[in-house]
Structure 1
Amino acid sequence: MTSGLQVQPGLLAMNRMYILKKLILLFLLGAALAGCGEDANRSSKIVVATDATLVPMSFINDRNQLDGFEIDLMRAVAQEAGLEMAMINVEWAGLLGGVLTHKFNAAISSITILAERQKKMAFSIPYLKSGLSIVVKKNTQGVNTLQDLQSKNLKVGAQRGTTAYFFLQKIPGLRPIGYDLYGHAVLDLIKGEVDAVVGESTGTLYYKNNDNAIFEKIKMVGEILTDEHYGIVMRQQDTQLIDAVNRALKTLLENGTVAKLHDHWDLGRTAVVPTLRQPDQP
């Protein structure tokens, strides 16, 4: 005599059929949701990241809002392209990787168009041409060129992960000191921890022209060290977004909008609104 309940063969078959139908339904539902996700990736709403630490390009203003030349430019691009956009503040070290790992759709933050970067990501047409400059303390004498920095074996600060830092690492006779933020390098310059700072020239010139309390203690010397074109970073496979952004940028360059923003933010002689030709990069 056996114990427990006895299941009739017909009932067992019905249960199996019920479970099979449930599994098929779940599979179809999952496929539908996946399709929705793909539609969302193709939608007109995008998230754009920036490292808001460099006045006047991209920064947090006194109302705790994103502000600056690149913020205004990106909003104009989105409006011209008919894109709904949200902008977020992300540390520089996470910008490029964040685009590639789908954390956001694009990044704008004075990002130089480089051949090495173009192997992994897409760039828009250039929206600005600028370069790197040398900054020293106000009372510094005898340091005006890159050669002066080399011959004196000086300590030179720069923000890690930027073209400034990569540039310094290639110059013999220098002692590059890396910082998380450009502003931290400048503070150490004022304190005498480093002898000079190399960084993006538009920010330095803006502070200089506007007599900021900190930047009254420093000066920009010599000529612009590099010739760099800045572009908006996107994923290579996002061809529709790339085309939309490029069409919008082309229009804004042609109708004078970019030039007006350049003047509004006092970018000065060190930043030039470029031609529409994609630059050849080494």
Structure 2
Amino acid sequence: MKLINYKWRQLILSLSCLLLIIGCTNLYPTSNQDIKLLKVATDPTFIPFEIQTASGKLEGFDIDLMNALAKVVGFAIQFESLPFDGMISTLEAKRVDAAISGITITAERLKTIAFSRPYFKAGLAIAVRENNHNIKNFNTLQGKKIAVQIGSTGADFAKTIPNAKISTFNSGPEFFQDLLNGNVDAVVSDAFATLYAIKNGKLKGIKVVADLLTQEYYGIATPKDSPHLKKINKAIASMLSNGTYKQIYQKWFNAEPPQLPES
């Protein structure tokens, strides 16, 4: 009888420990059970990479790419709208986990933040009014009034134009409107965003001239030493190999995506 009671006491004690372990596991889930919330900054004025609809919903190439990436690595994305010129400082302060908004990978930016492997091949272009036949290339920009976006590589490039009078703006719609109003002679900005806007009838009276001024690559920006960067890079590689990237690219640009370098 004593032996049986002893065995029951042992069984009850074992079950109690098991229930305690299960309870603690539910209270404090393991990292594998958690879905990591990733705060991602983006500028919704950079069409077609970021678009904010009338209802407030975010759409665009970058948005689709980031949402697809989140599914691969098991992240939940929380987008935060920021003006483009505030993204680098926000990343430096680690107030967001990442930023995606056509951010060109440059040596200067790499001094203070980190980038994923390139996810888009881009470049700068010159946009002028349709009736302008004088501006045809870089050399003919000398001494002209040039509009650029604050903090962009277009703004950096414009500084190399001899005697140019540079006007800075917070977003594309603002500097294109200034161009249409005749307040500036040309805009130096992302070629894909400009061509997309012209194609979709949102920039009537504007044309792109000459070849691309530069060749650039966009990356997903993160703070230095980000714990998420390795997963982000693996997800981009996976989407490039399994056709997901191609589907997103063709949806927004109706063309075959170019080859992208690993770094």
What TM-score range do you get, normalising by the shorter chain? Answer: 0.7 to 0.9
> Could you tell me which residue of structure 2 aligns to residue 256 of structure 1?
243
> Could you tell me which residue of structure 2 aligns to residue 126 of structure 1?
118
Secondary structure in 1 aligned to 2:233? helix
Find the aligned partners of 2:183 and 2:209 in 1 and give their Cα distance.
Answer: 19
Alignment partner for residue 97 of structure 2, among 73, 80, 105?
105
Alignment partner for residue 178 of structure 1, among 162, 165, 168?
168
Return the letter of the residue paired with 1:220: V
Find the aligned partners of 1:109 and 1:273 in 2 and give their Cα distance.
Answer: 19
Find the aligned partners of 1:254 and 1:228 in 2 and give their Cα distance.
Answer: 22
TM-score, length-scaled by structure 1: 0.78
Alignment partner for residue 167 of structure 1, among 151, 154, 157?
157
Q: 2:130 matched to 1:138? A: yes
Alignment partner for residue 189 of structure 2, among 186, 189, 199?
199
Q: 2:75 matched to 1:87? A: no
Find the aligned partners of 2:187 and 2:77 in 1 and give their Cα distance.
Answer: 35
Find the aligned partners of 2:156 and 2:78 in 1 and give their Cα distance.
Answer: 31
Contact 2:35 2:76 (8 Å CA) reproduced: no
Unpaired runs of at least 5, structure 1: 1-35
Return the letter of the residue paired with 1:275: L
Contact 2:85 2:152 (8 Å CA) reproduced: no
Secondary structure in 2 aligned to 1:54? coil
Alignment partner for residue 179 of structure 2, among 189, 197, 217?
189
Find the aligned partners of 1:103 and 1:43 in 2 and give their Cα distance.
Answer: 19
Contact 1:202 1:268 (8 Å CA) reproduced: no
Find the aligned partners of 1:273 and 1:155 in 2 and give their Cα distance.
Answer: 33
Q: CA deviation at 1:144?
A: 1.2
Q: CA deviation at 1:110?
A: 0.4
TM-score, length-scaled by structure 2: 0.83
Find the aligned partners of 1:159 and 1:82 in 2 and give their Cα distance.
Answer: 34
From the CA coordinates, give the structure whose radius of gyration is larger: 1
> Could you tell me which residue of structure 1 aligns to residue 205 of structure 2?
217
> Could you tell me which residue of structure 2 aligns to residue 29 of structure 1?
none
Alignment partner for residue 236 of structure 1, among 208, 224, 227?
224
- Deviation string, structure 1 residues 10-37 (Cα, Å, up to 9, x no partner): xxxxxxxxxxxxxxxxxxxxxxxxxx9x
Return the letter of the residue paired with 1:246: N
Contact 1:126 1:274 (8 Å CA) reproduced: no
Alignment partner for residue 247 of structure 1, among 234, 250, 255?
234
Runs (4 or more) in structure 1 with deviation over 4 Å come to none
Secondary structure in 2 aligned to 1:79? helix
- Deviation string, structure 1 residues 35-61 (Cα, Å, up to 9, x no partner): x9xx9xx97211101011011111202
> Could you tell me which residue of structure 2 aligns to residue 51 of structure 1?
43
Find the aligned partners of 2:255 and 2:212 in 1 and give their Cα distance.
Answer: 13
Unpaired runs of at least 5, structure 2: 1-27
Find the aligned partners of 1:172 and 1:63 in 2 and give their Cα distance.
Answer: 44
Find the aligned partners of 1:268 and 1:221 in 2 and give their Cα distance.
Answer: 21
Q: CA deviation at 1:173?
A: 3.0
CA RMSD of the aligned region, Å? 1.9
Over the matched positions of the two proteins, sequence identity in percent amounts to: 33
Q: CA deviation at 1:265?
A: 0.8
Find the aligned partners of 2:37 and 2:148 in 1 and give their Cα distance.
Answer: 35
- Deviation string, structure 1 residues 232-277 (Cα, Å, up to 9, x no partner): 0111222x300110000000111222222111112759xx544242
- Deviation string, structure 1 residues 65-118 (Cα, Å, up to 9, x no partner): 111000000001111111122111111122111122121100000000011111
Find the aligned partners of 1:200 and 1:267 in 2 and give their Cα distance.
Answer: 18
Secondary structure in 2 aligned to 1:57? coil
Aligned length: 232
Return the letter of the residue paired with 1:218: I
Which stretch has the larger CA shift, 175-184 or 52-61?
175-184
Secondary structure in 2 aligned to 1:104? coil
